[in-house]
Structure 1
């Protein structure tokens, strides 16, 4: 790999609703960018997912002027639903079968891993909240731990789907005289009727069962965001609840964090997905939970300014031991800073290096509720 211009690296960020492919040469120049449909193999099946990936790669090669029968040196797939090594291998095999000339090497990993890699070279947290949700911790030693990411039947808390479902359930419970809503439901019910083009609760059942479409279902959330912006109390309540749940996923992973991630600098949390566009309405719940838990270190919430497909290329380059140039500071903006109440930043630091054992002692105290 003496001529860096000849090295070809691809990366796909894939969610439940849409995906994006980037192809770069070894000097970091983007040769092609392609958008495509969702690539979650649990929703589509492995074969259909592989076909979509192959189509995107073929389109990207055409745009970049790369011959169809020329391999990329490596292709990284950072996709929703790719948390298990066994199923990731099946997807990689399916892509090779569908497109033998796609790439010499294939890396398959979770969409959350690509998000962290885009902004934080040493690791950190990513909270994805789009159609679905997932939170992942990446430690400096390469170990990963997750909270959530189990799909709409078993999780997806604080996602657009979850917020939409919660709104509908609150209205149904009110009409059944099963539970009193926390706030009037007039705006929310009107938004539900308009979004699904229904007039009664019974009309809605088709969209919940026979004609269920998760992205379409989750689309109600954007209308609830408008309600929150206009001051609707129930819409604001729903987003505050979502913010609380986001913060709880952070707290769930604190005991598994390497203290290196927050001892000297703030913990970096990469925030990905359309729900984060409503941060003003998520913030009250998010900050409230951190305060209640007495989080003792600083946190920075980051919004990516580039596609996660670039971070996936970073991971792919590491996979083949290629020295790909990176400029992390250009990849994100910090949109919120949280100052810890007890200041781990004031823990002993010697010659720029923290004393890991002492920081771990602080974490132990936090875990036991003593700080």
Structure 2
């Protein structure tokens, strides 16, 4: 029997799966985040191995079984990671490929190109056309981008509070409800105590986790500043789509009967806070380049797509009904 492994690597979690040549999913595994920029290449490799071994166990495979191929979709160094695998885990898989974090999502949902818009801990947008063309917008990390992500929303909200307190720039709404949320989540009593979270104690995934509190404040408490920040996030996410729109082929629009967008990440769970800002900005920016937008959510991990990619790399075509891997959560005429 031939076995392929797939890995979805993120800043918060690592998810692995094992499939066979028939396209049957045999097991899943999970470990901590494996973003190479946060935990280093060796640390990322160790987390990936933990998740793969967990998936092998659930699949009923012995730990010493060598996979035919292992596909890893992650942001960060590629060849350097493969070198560490060969050195430290030479029996893990006969073939190992490392692709960009959007590649697994793309392969999970589309067989003739697609658009992936990630808004999780970080953000990224990639279009792959049916003709093999590709265009990227974003995906440069929190220092240079990550607009619309959970990290960005957390940072944006706290920046409003700090600027308001410094009398540098007044916030559009009261910062006091946000202050209480910040104190509770970060376990601080002053802005000065936040410096540890900005410097030596900085954790991107933990900082991004504050986004959940902001979402709760926006939905449950109807806080105006929290709702305002989510509207801004919606607008910059729409800007990502507008960034790739001029490169999208007519063939892609025809295949999807409009523009299909796969939306990945926890920020999309707050769709009720994003909807108005997203579509108002999209209509403003795309100038009739598409008649309809269809937003899709994955119902399965992109680790499956990573496994499909490595199977193709090994010369095997895995048969799966990709349409079952997503569901439409919103469709709107533009």
For the pair 1:300 / 2:290, whether they are aligned, the reply is no
Following the alignment from structure 2 to structure 1, what is the Cα–Cα distance between the partners of residues 315 and 333? 37
Q: State the SS of the aligned residue for 2:270.
A: helix
Following the alignment from structure 2 to structure 1, what is the Cα–Cα distance between the partners of residues 97 and 159? 40
Q: Deviations over 1:277-301 (max 9, x none)?
A: 0011111111011111224312111
For the pair 1:237 / 2:219, whether they are aligned, the reply is no
Following the alignment from structure 1 to structure 2, what is the Cα–Cα distance between the partners of residues 139 and 105? 27
Aligned partners of 1:51 and 1:95 also within 8 Å: no
Name which structure has the greater RCO, CA cutoff 8 Å, separation 6+: 2
Q: State the SS of the aligned residue for 1:205.
A: helix
Deviation (angstroms), 1:142: 3.0
Identify which range, 110-119 or 169-178, moves more after superposition.
Answer: 110-119
Aligned partners of 1:50 and 1:98 also within 8 Å: no
Deviation (angstroms), 1:198: 1.0
Following the alignment from structure 2 to structure 1, what is the Cα–Cα distance between the partners of residues 19 and 12? 24
Residue of structure 2 equivalent to 1:222: 212
Following the alignment from structure 1 to structure 2, what is the Cα–Cα distance between the partners of residues 70 and 301? 39
In the superposition, the TM-score normalised over structure 2's length comes to 0.95
Residue of structure 1 equivalent to 2:273: 281
Say which one has the larger Rg.
1
User: Structure 1: which 5+ residue stretches go unaligned?
Assistant: 1-5, 341-371
Residue of structure 2 equivalent to 1:175: 165
User: Structure 2: which 5+ residue stretches go unaligned?
Assistant: none
For the pair 1:254 / 2:257, whether they are aligned, the reply is no
Aligned partners of 1:113 and 1:138 also within 8 Å: no
Q: Deviations over 1:33-72 (max 9, x none)?
A: 1011111112221112122222332333333333444321
Q: Deviations over 1:301-337 (max 9, x none)?
A: 1001111111212222222221211111211110111
For the pair 1:114 / 2:108, whether they are aligned, the reply is no
Aligned partners of 1:54 and 1:95 also within 8 Å: no
For the pair 1:60 / 2:55, whether they are aligned, the reply is yes
Following the alignment from structure 1 to structure 2, what is the Cα–Cα distance between the partners of residues 272 and 124? 13
Residues 142 and 318 from structure 1, CA distance in 2 versus in 1: closer, same or farther, beyond 3 angstroms?
Answer: farther
Identify which range, 137-146 or 104-113, moves more after superposition.
Answer: 137-146
Identify which range, 134-143 or 204-213, moves more after superposition.
Answer: 134-143
Following the alignment from structure 1 to structure 2, what is the Cα–Cα distance between the partners of residues 78 and 54? 14
Residue of structure 2 equivalent to 1:125: 115
Aligned partners of 2:120 and 2:264 also within 8 Å: yes
Following the alignment from structure 1 to structure 2, what is the Cα–Cα distance between the partners of residues 94 and 114? 21
Equivalent residue in structure 2 for 1:148, among 111, 115, 138:
138
Equivalent residue in structure 2 for 1:324, among 318, 326, 331:
318
Deviation (angstroms), 1:266: 1.7
Equivalent residue in structure 2 for 1:105, among 69, 88, 95:
95
Aligned partners of 2:263 and 2:296 also within 8 Å: yes
Residue of structure 2 equivalent to 1:188: 178
Residue of structure 2 equivalent to 1:18: 13
Following the alignment from structure 1 to structure 2, what is the Cα–Cα distance between the partners of residues 142 and 98? 35
Following the alignment from structure 1 to structure 2, what is the Cα–Cα distance between the partners of residues 69 and 34? 16
Aligned partners of 2:119 and 2:265 also within 8 Å: yes
Residue of structure 1 equivalent to 2:259: 267
For the pair 1:75 / 2:75, whether they are aligned, the reply is no
Q: State the SS of the aligned residue for 1:337.
A: strand
Identify which range, 291-300 or 144-153, moves more after superposition.
Answer: 291-300
User: Superposition RMSD on alpha carbons, in Å?
Assistant: 1.4
